[in-house]
Structure 1
Amino acid sequence: MSTVSRRFYRPSTFLIAGALAVGLLGAAMPAQATAEVPATTIPPAVVTIAATPAATKVSLVAALTPAQVATVRAAALRAAAARAAAVRAAAIRATAARALRARTTAVRLASSKIGSRYVAGRAGPTKFDCSGLTQFVVRHATGRLLPHYSRTQWRATARVARKNLRPGDLVFFFGRGAHHVGIYIGNGRMVSASNPRAGVKIELVFSGWYGSRYSGAGRLI
């Protein structure tokens, strides 16, 4: 009578400590960390372990060698890092999307005021001076209230190089005093409440009358 040899296998490396590690690491993840993680970044066995009852996990751990435990923990850490990276990437995309919406709103709103009257000290909705127009546009596009003076708006914004200008940025003129400000709408143009005669209109930023008086740009969005 032939004897059939029996082989005994230890539980899969990813079937034990991984469950514990995944459970522990998963508990430490923030509640909002729900961004999708590519399936290829998480070992299938680690995913399987996540659903293993706690009592089973404990009993399985004893069957692992220290090397296996270390391997599973490393895999769980990689999976947790992948989840965290996915959350960060999702947050960056959401921030960029909000900024794009705000910029689009700023350009649309500024353009809708073309033809409005220039009145010193006014900030809309139908009459504006230069800083009143930018204050009105920024408030409705972003919810942020800028001071109603071009010089203080200059100080309240982050400097932006000419080559990095984006629609929705503020553009300033007349040297350090920043005595005039407009909303940049792209292609070297701005919407500006220029003076009582011209009212709110589109002007060239880098050529014409304003070109030689350009001071710099500021960003809020």
Structure 2
Amino acid sequence: MSTVSRRFYRPSTFLIAGALAVGLLGAAMPAQATAEVPATTIPPAVVTIAATPAATKVSFVAALTPAQVATVRAAALRAAAARAAAVRAAAIRATAARALRARTTAVRLASSKIGSRYVAGRAGPTKFDCSGLTQFVVRHATGRLLPHYSRTQWRATARVARKNLRPGDLVFFFGRGAHHVGIYIGNGRMVSASNPRAGVKIELVFSGWYGSRYSGAGRLI
């Protein structure tokens, strides 16, 4: 009686053999045809931004065409000009608001001194001569110290045409022997320290005694 020898194979042996068989079959079979997908051209700028989360402006601009660079620069210049214009407009508005407050203060303060006594050489707070009153009002309305005499105040102020007069301007009178200055309060009127008899009062600028002696106006506010 013959003896049949039994051989035992491990499972891994079958797996290796199967893999080899599949490899041989794959080598023997012709390769399957594959459709070619056209390559997509990605702009360098997009590649740079996608590959680098913190893409720099230099990398982006370098990838633009000359026309695109010109467009970006023009837009940047327009934005900068708009910002500068906004800053200038805000500064102008602020200056105008300060001037309006100062003129309003000047008129209010000058009006509050109506009835005060005229005393030569005095500049307030209760007694004034003409240039002392304007000095007092300007100092408290603007913080600027004017000299005490009408001639020097004339030289210290910017000339203003009659049609452009605003409340708070100084009005001067030098004609026909006059030597006088007052605070313009609008509607052709001024507050001034006229003389010891009249004291501080409202006077007409362009008519009456002062009308023929009007020399001009000056502005500090």
Whether TM-score is above 0.5 comes out as yes
- Between stretches 129-138 and 69-78, larger displacement belongs to 69-78
The 3-state SS of whatever aligns with 1:191 is strand
The 3-state SS of whatever aligns with 1:36 is coil
Q: Is the 8 A contact 1:172 1:182 kept in 2?
A: yes
Q: Is the 8 A contact 1:194 1:201 kept in 2?
A: yes
- Between stretches 126-135 and 68-77, larger displacement belongs to 68-77
Query: What fraction of aligned residue pairs are identical, expressed as a percent?
Result: 100
> Alignment RMSD, CA only?
23.8
Distance 1:74 1:152, change over 3 A: same
Q: Is the 8 A contact 1:21 1:73 kept in 2?
A: no
Cα distance, 1:175 vs. partner?
Answer: 2.4
Q: Is the 8 A contact 1:172 1:178 kept in 2?
A: no
The 3-state SS of whatever aligns with 1:203 is strand
Cα distance, 1:20 vs. partner?
Answer: 60
The 3-state SS of whatever aligns with 2:192 is strand
| 1:156 and 2:138 aligned | no
Distance 1:202 1:21, change over 3 A: farther
Structure-2 separation of matches of 1:112 and 1:7: 128
Distance 1:117 1:3, change over 3 A: farther
Distance 1:113 1:174, change over 3 A: same
Structure-1 separation of matches of 2:188 and 2:55: 68
Structure-1 separation of matches of 2:138 and 2:33: 32
Q: Is the 8 A contact 1:165 1:217 kept in 2?
A: yes
Q: Is the 8 A contact 2:48 2:60 kept in 1?
A: no
Q: Is the 8 A contact 1:204 1:211 kept in 2?
A: yes
Structure 2, unaligned runs of 5 or more: none
Q: Is the 8 A contact 1:173 1:213 kept in 2?
A: yes
Q: Is the 8 A contact 2:114 2:200 kept in 1?
A: yes
Distance 1:72 1:149, change over 3 A: same
Structure-2 separation of matches of 1:12 and 1:54: 51
The 3-state SS of whatever aligns with 2:60 is helix
Distance 1:174 1:59, change over 3 A: closer
Structure-1 separation of matches of 2:132 and 2:190: 15
Greater radius of gyration (CA): 2
Aligned residues: 221
Cα distance, 1:3 vs. partner?
Answer: 66
1:66-92 CA distances to partner (integer Å, 9 max, x unpaired)?
211111011111110110011111111
Cα distance, 1:51 vs. partner?
Answer: 18
1:109-144 CA distances to partner (integer Å, 9 max, x unpaired)?
000000000000000000000000000000000111
Q: Is the 8 A contact 1:189 1:204 kept in 2?
A: yes
- Between stretches 31-40 and 68-77, larger displacement belongs to 31-40
Q: Is the 8 A contact 1:118 1:129 kept in 2?
A: yes
Structure 1 segment 88-103 matched on structure 2, within 5 A:
88-103=88-103
Q: Is the 8 A contact 1:43 1:75 kept in 2?
A: no
Distance 1:204 1:151, change over 3 A: same
Q: Is the 8 A contact 1:103 1:141 kept in 2?
A: yes
Q: TM-score, normalised by structure 2?
A: 0.74
Cα distance, 1:40 vs. partner?
Answer: 36
Q: TM-score, normalised by structure 1?
A: 0.74
Structure-2 separation of matches of 1:85 and 1:118: 49
Cα distance, 1:17 vs. partner?
Answer: 62
